[in-house]
Amino acid sequence: MAVARIWQPRYTPEEYLAMEEHAQQRSEYFKGQIFAMAGGTYNHEMIGGNVFAALHTFAQTKGCVAFGNNMRLLVEAHNLYTYPDAMLICGKPQFPPNRKDILLNPLLLVEVLWKSTRDYDRGDKFEFYRSIPTFQHYLMVDQERVFVEYYHKVANGQWLLTEVRDAEVVLTFQAIDLRIPLRDLYHRVDWFVD
């Protein structure tokens, strides 16, 4: 049986950025295609806010800047424009020419995991992120249970995974002297809210 292919238009990055300026909802851009982003759940928003709060507090004393999920990231090597749930940049933020709404140089990226996107966040998206020269830390936080996956870059481009399932653990980002209690990440999360 033949499967009909649905034609999808291709857009240039400039067309995508122009559409985003007037869009009612945010979208990601990848190699000419535009993908609408899903709306947030209560738990997703709580965790995202908690992560941003922890990063913002840390950034104030370390010469860093924390961003929430409204700041766009360009992964230049893969022509991907995306909105991580949180980012940390240490040093001066870098932008493409004539833009102040797209970042290029994150040190740490955070994704709050959804059922529909968790495989992408762990797989292709993480691969794409690894092409960013400044990127050293990747935190994925599950919104349905206490479960965190933390990768950090070690020698020779290798990445070390730490998994945490205990809310009493303090997650330590040794290279940047950041400590976040998991209890803080999951503060006010309602495990019974869909």
Sheet holding 102-103, edge to edge: 33-36, 27-30, 80-82, 72-75, 102-103
User: Which has the minimum average pLDDT: 8-17, 47-56, 58-67, 104-113?
Assistant: 8-17
Place 192 in a pLDDT band, splitting at 50, 70 and 90: low
Within its chain, how far is the Cα of 193 from the centroid? 23
* Per-residue pLDDT tens digits for 15-34: 999 999 989 888 999 999 99
What global pTM score does this model have?
0.92
pLDDT of residue 1: 41
Q: For residue 39, is pLDDT > 80?
A: no
CATH of domain 41-73+83-185: 3.90.1570.10
Residue 3's pLDDT is what? 45
Is residue 7's pLDDT more than 70?
no
- Condensed to tens digits (0 to 9), the pLDDT of residues 99-142 reads 999 999 999 999 999 888 899 999 999 999 999 999 999 999 99
Q: What is the pLDDT of residue 2?
A: 46
Calculate the alpha carbon distances from 24 to 3, 44, 183 in Å: 33, 20, 34
pLDDT category at 156 given cuts 50, 70, 90 is: confident
What are 168-184's pLDDT values in tens digits? 999 999 889 999 999 99
In whole angstroms, what is the distance from residue 30 CA to residue 43 CA? Answer: 27
For residue 39, the 8-state DSSP code is P
User: Domain extents for the chain?
Assistant: 41-73+83-185
